[in-house]
Structure formats: C-alpha cells, structure tokens
Amino acid sequence: MKVLDASFVKKFIQMCNDGWEQGWHERNGGNLSYRIKNEEIDEVKEQLDLSGEWKEIGTTVLKLAGEYFLVTGSGKFFRNVILDPEDSICIIKIDETGSKYKICWGLVNGGRPTSELPSHLMNHEVKKELTGGKHRVIYHAHTTNVIALTFVLPLKDEVFTRELWEMATECPVVFPDGIGVIGWMVPGGRDIAVATSEMMKKYDVVIWAHHGIFGSGEDFDTTFGLVHTVEKSAEIYVKVMSMAPKKLQTIKPDEFRNLAADFHVALPERFLYEK
C-alpha cells in the first residue's frame, strides 16, 4: 500500500489541518508524532527506504528501540501538510540503542524531523510504559489562550488545573488527572524533554509557559479533542477575566466531588482546595 493511502497517515494529515484551522500553527509552530503499529508498518513496508544514515536523536529512548514514528518535519508549516505531505512529514525508525533515528519515508526535499523530537520521544517512552502501549499520539500546539494565561496565572499545576476545570463542566471528565505547568525553558533540547516527560508521568497535558501545550493520547481524535478542550476552557477564562476581575459564581469543590461520583472519575483532592 502507498504510505499516503494508509488510514493512520490520512488521520495524521487531517489532524495537522484541524490544528492549522484552529489557528494554533502559525508558520512552522507546533509538531505532531504518532507511534506506528506493527500491522500498519507492514502495510506500507514496500514503500520504506531503510538505506538512510542513522542520526543522533539527542537523547536516549531505549524502550522505543526498533519502533517507527510518523512525525512532522522541522521548519515545516502545518498549513502545507495537507497540500504536500511528502515534503512536510516523515516516517522514522529508532535504532536498537534508542539513541539514533533514520528517515525511511517523506521529507522528499530534505530536512529533518521536528526540533522537539527529544520531547516527543521521551513523552512517548513514558506513556508507552504507563499505559501498556495504549498511548500513541503526542501533539505540541501553540494554543493562543493557554499561552496568554501563562502571563497572568501563577505557573502552578494546581492553579491551572482548577481554573480550567471551573471554566467548563466537561473539563474534569476530559482531563481528570489535571494539567502540568513548566516555567519558561529553551525549547528543542534534552532539558525541556526531561522536564516534560517527568510531568507526563502524572498528566496527559503539559503547558510550556509563554510557548504552548503538549498533549498525549491513544489516538488522533482523543488527543486533538483533549488539547481542544483545554484551549477552549482557557478561551472562556480569558473572556471571563476580560469582563470582570472576579467571578460572581463558579463550580465549587463539593460540586466537583458530586460530578466525580456520577461520572466515575477520580479527581485528586489537591485540586479541590478552598479559595
């Protein structure tokens, strides 16, 4: 089968375009990666070129040795993924040491996988282990309202989780574990990858202050839906704060506890503090 005819590739391209249409991917902002299933790789095997050279990832992900990923290219525009996927995205294979990758398909006009590859792969490694292999998608987007909030709210997991839970009743059900927040760091390297993957041990959503968001999920729909829900909630927060400096009423801790019981989710008590 042609790579571009495979359903996981079509879904990947659709998600890139959905993010573009939301306005989260100015220029080359944001990146997406998918840990490809064995049976999906078998479908496209004859189209893969394994003769390329191994290159350094910049970190080590031993538990991902031998795995294949579909990844956006560094400097590539999400806007162009749907128009020219073979120029914009690539399939990579991880070597047996977990420290190198090679490009097996795509990026036909040259280039390399996203500069955030260390963060993507270290997040994948954590989530693969923690979810028994269920999580396959890592998504980084420059979500406008989430970024705006990192200038006015304390950069604390408890504050972001609680404020965003309060903005939409569905939020505690969609991200019951909460949200991690990391203060500003230089992007693109191992340090931010280590910090983010540590947070991914507790959360499916991690915010990078003054930069954007990372989401992890089982498939394209749930991962996009997760990031979309958090960003929508941040948008409501921005609107509320723009109308009045203080909320007149909101969802209270006991009401969250009632919601948790009815919707069968566990909401950590550390987010249900009295204000």
CB atoms within 10 A of CB 97: 12
* Interaction residues for Zn ion, span 198-227 (CB under 5 A): 212
Which of Zn ion, ligand 13P, none does 176 bind, CB closer than 5 to 8 A by kind? none
Name the one range near ligand 13P by CB under 6 A: 5-13, 67-75, 168-176, 225-233: 67-75
* Interaction residues for ligand 13P, span 15-34 (CB under 6 A): 28-31
DSSP conformational letter for 271: G
Site string for ligand 13P, 109-148 (x = CB under 6 A): -----xxx-----------------------x--------
CB atoms within 10 A of CB 69: 23
Least separation in angstroms between residue 225's CB and Zn ion is: 20
* Interaction residues for ligand 13P, span 149-208 (CB under 6 A): 187
Least separation in angstroms between residue 122's CB and ligand 13P is: 14
DSSP conformational letter for 219: S
Given the DSSP bridges, would you call strands 179-182 and 68-72 parallel, antiparallel or unpaired?
Answer: unpaired
Q: Provide the residue count of the chain.
A: 275
66 interacts with ligand 13P by CB under 6 A: no
75 interacts with ligand 13P by CB under 6 A: yes
Least separation in angstroms between residue 31's CB and ligand 13P is: 4
Choose, by CB under 6 A, the member of 14, 22, 47, 74 that binds ligand 13P: 74
How far apart are the C-alpha atoms of 22 and 145, rounded to whole Å?
Answer: 12
How far apart are the C-alpha atoms of 76 and 88, rounded to whole Å?
Answer: 6
How far apart are the C-alpha atoms of 157 and 179, rounded to whole Å?
Answer: 6
- Residue written as tokens 């939409």? 168
How far apart are the C-alpha atoms of 17 and 202, rounded to whole Å?
Answer: 29
Which of ligand 13P, Zn ion, none does 196 bind, CB closer than 5 to 8 A by kind? none
Least separation in angstroms between residue 32's CB and ligand 13P is: 9
How far apart are the C-alpha atoms of 20 and 62, rounded to whole Å?
Answer: 33
Catalytic entry in 40, 43, 67, 116:
116
Count of positions on this chain that bind ligand 13P (CB under 6 A): 12
Query: Annotated catalytic, 116?
Result: yes
How far apart are the C-alpha atoms of 7 and 163, rounded to whole Å?
Answer: 37
Q: Are 72 and 89 in contact (CB under 8 A)?
A: yes
Binding site for ligand 13P (CB under 6 A): 28-31, 72, 74-75, 114-116, 140, 187
Which residues are tagged catalytic? 116
